[in-house]
Amino acid sequence: MWGMKKLSIIIPAYNEKNTIEEIIKRVKAVDLDGLEKEIIVVDDGSKDGTREILKTISGIKYIFHDKNLGKGGAIKTGFQNATGDILIIQDADLEYDPQDYGKILKSILSGQADVVYGSRFLTSEPKRVMLIWHLLGNLFLTFLSDLLTGLTLTDMETCYKAFRREVTDSFKDKIASKRFGIEPELTARVAKGGWRVYEVGISYYGRSYEEGKKISWRDGVAAIWHILRFNLFK
């Protein structure tokens, strides 16, 4: 394990009262072969009772934002408060399965990778069928990002991104994105840092807007600007 003893799981959460207990339960249940888990939930100004639920859950560290700063703001707070040797981002909405941690962390623990992305497209694992516009949007944004970073990712927009601590330490205080621009920003910063990036297939259980999905077409349009911004102007 190259001296790595602790995994910090960063869970940004905003109005996730229906899923927050279950995702934490699933994270706690993952067997990481002796690797200690630090679960950090950053509640990003929830108004639906999420933070009241968090106060009742033992074995986690929770941080409350007084106002909503967006997913990027929550991830920045999580990175700044993490103490693990490896950090991974976990959405609170049950779309991603913590049982995939083992395959994501394998290349980091073996010393081969500095960063690992979990791809929803490079996989034979179960995944919920996406709406065609979501699929095309994801593929286009990943292509544009790859074109400017020089990487060959298949899923830049994935939630599952794992990092050696040295990687996040190199940019955690510089993170500027507030909403979902965090995905292209992290990718651009990783590419500019020259870190060793790997990608593995994961399962995916996407939810619909009726089930609480928050990202919209506006975020997709904004992502184009963020890709250009963090690759060409930062």
Q: What is the mean pLDDT of the chain?
A: 92
Give residue 103's pLDDT: 96
- Assign 34 a pLDDT band (cuts: 50, 70, 90): confident
Give residue 234's pLDDT: 67
Q: Regarding beta strands 197-201 and 61-64, do their DSSP bridges make them parallel or antiparallel, or are they unpaired?
A: unpaired
- Assign 217 a pLDDT band (cuts: 50, 70, 90): low
Tell me how far the alpha carbon of residue 106 is from its chain's centroid. 17
Tell me which DSSP letter residue 97 carries: -
Q: What CATH number did the domain enclosing 226 receive?
A: 3.90.550.10
Q: Would you call 198 helix, strand, or coil by DSSP?
A: strand
The total number of structural domains in the chain stands at 1
Say if 178 falls within a structural domain.
Answer: yes
Angle at 28 between CA 212 and CA 35, to 5 degrees: 130
Say if 214 falls within a structural domain.
Answer: yes
In angstroms, rounded to a whole number, what is the distance separating the alpha carbons of residues 89 and 92?
10
Say if 1 falls within a structural domain.
Answer: no
Say if 195 falls within a structural domain.
Answer: yes
pLDDT in tens, 100-140: 999 999 999 999 999 999 999 987 777 677 677 788 889 99
Total-model pTM:
0.92
Q: Which residue range(s) make up the domain with 80?
A: 6-233
Per-residue burial over 145-158, b if 16 or more Cβ lie within 10 Å, else e, is bbebbebebbbbbb
